[in-house]
Structure 1
Amino acid sequence: MTTLFTSYRLGGLTLPNRLVMAPMSRVRAAAGGLATPSMAAYYAQRATAGLIVSEGVQPSAVGQSNPGTPGLHTDEQVAAWRPVTDAVHTNGGRIFAQLMHGGRVSHPDTIGTLPVGPSAVAAVGEVFTPSGPQPAPVPRALDLAEIPEHAGSYADAARRAVDAGFDGVELHGANGYLISQFLSSNANLRTDGYGGPIAHRIRFAVEAVAATAEAVGADRVGIRLSPGATFWGVQETEVRELYTALLTELATLGLAYVHLEATSDEDVLTALRRAWPGTLIMNPVLPMGPKQAGRDDADHWLGLGADLISFGRGFLANPDLVERLRRGLPIAPVDEATYYQGGDAGYLTYPAHQDVA
């Protein structure tokens, strides 16, 4: 019988359990987008996860969304990540880097230039900047000739990720960031081969994934998707058809996995499970929603055909989440006030469960 604690073969890796630490922005990188010793300690504390997916890492300078996020587009960033991946591996873990191009979800005060997007349509809401939240600016619409460069930035960052010791990469195709913007029917108003019909709206995602797979090997590449989500004001029409078409194209590439968020009705998500022949990671509750994922949610989705289950807030506040779930121990709550404040409080200070003698 398959449980959360059954091992699983993922590409060239053997995972000791089916728990995945979901990517979560922690904005604790040093100047220049450099990983830090505290980041090494944070990920190493959670190395009992079957797989760790890192926080979002910008693949290029213009792809940075928030201040304080790490990058993988300079030699210095690669060198700074090596102690992180070494620490995870020393503790027996496995880690993929999530490659996150923010697209229009950024600000000139953060990146020094206008952010870019498929069209000149601003995100909804305020974005983080070095001086605090500000309204999202209208991005510069990418010229047709520029699009391959941005698709290729994921592949360039993936090469650096492997050089930095990561076991693979996950492209962030969810939550209203650049890939998601191209999939969208209101952030993407293009009339060329990258906009309009479904076959055109999925093109950027497919090209970015294909380039990355070619760069580092398909069995080291996954993608995270949020079908039907409305983060940062994105909207998608024909959600089931859109993602079925995308997964059909991606299925030819031999990827490590697809990572779905519970952002659509269950019937849509189970239809996408049937459309995807490979490994499926399921994030079983709405990210940043009112409910925190638990054992029952994980077991439900394993029963519906997911292969691996990702937990976000559970891993944030419980470095020993695997053992807590295995033994039915209490799950500690998160301190939301420390999510993005920097420093080690609410980062390295969550303890493992202590048995009382």
Structure 2
Amino acid sequence: MSTLASSSVPFESTDENTDTQQADTSKLGIASILANVTEAAVVTNLSGKIVGYNRQLNDVVPHIHDAHCITDLFTLSSKSLNTTCLTNIGDTVGRRSGSFPIQLTRIHTGAESQPSIPTFVSMLRAPDTRLPAALLYKLDEHILRFSMRLRQIHIAKKEHARYAKQATLNAITDPLTGLKNRRFVQSFMDLQWHGQFRKGEDSVLILFDIDHFKQINDTHGHPVGDEAIKVFADCLLSQARPTDVVGRWGGEEFIVLLTNCSCEQARVYLERVMTHIRLLKVPCDQGHISMTASAGYCAFSQAKSVEHSFTQADTALYAAKSNGRDRYKKASA
């Protein structure tokens, strides 16, 4: 049932002063030993170097291929031994017969704590000389499966959280520009409307419309039109403050809500952003095209409701377009 996943490696002593005679691991038949072990198991030489492991261990410790020593995978968490080093366990086990119980803790790259794993370690001796040759570690299968299941649940929860976060972002984001979408802006405006009265602040709603956008689409095609929308959106966002909300209302219409802002401060923003819009260049087959935009704005303090402020700003936008475009206009008081 089980297979050897790592070939046998001859033992090389790492302690020149040791008095313990040790046998070569190549005569043990490690593959045969592991094939008869039902638990997850690993075999090391007496210095801790991994010389074989079975499929069960590979299933629960996938990164075992990268490990060279037992200490690459586990730390000793037993308190009954007089040593804290796994490579010294052979001295203790060699004085006993049968299996010796220890507690191991998996080394994990994540920050979460790892449960200790009951493990039984026994000495493998050379069949001809009976000298100590290797150590066989048998890990408790039930604890390992439980640990693996916990890890799978943890990974699944992280994946679910990532997908949930992405779904939330998709629900409030315009896919073409990356700006906030109409749904989010509407909700935010409602919250801002009610919050400003408690804080004694004002907000200014601005509506933008790209001038002659249909002509851009008809003349240069929809891909160029989409690029023009993205370039325009980036311009609006780059000139806004982190506390402001910039969104795409639909088509070539955009909305900006300047929070904690007066009409005079909004005018300064509009002067700046309109200048940048005139400098925009959108690549096309003929080289590049420029664009202009019209805008209308209304302070919340001028309106009776969010809907009223939007209507006022929309009326001002229409007046700006009727008066020649490439300009902004404030809503009438």
Q: TM-score range by the shorter chain?
A: under 0.3
The structure with higher relative contact order (CA 8 Å, sep 6+) is 1
TM-score w.r.t. structure 2 length?
Answer: 0.21
Q: Normalized per residue, which structure has more strand?
A: 2
* Larger radius of gyration between Structure 1 and Structure 2: 2
Structure 1 length-normalised TM: 0.20
Q: Which has the higher helix share?
A: 2
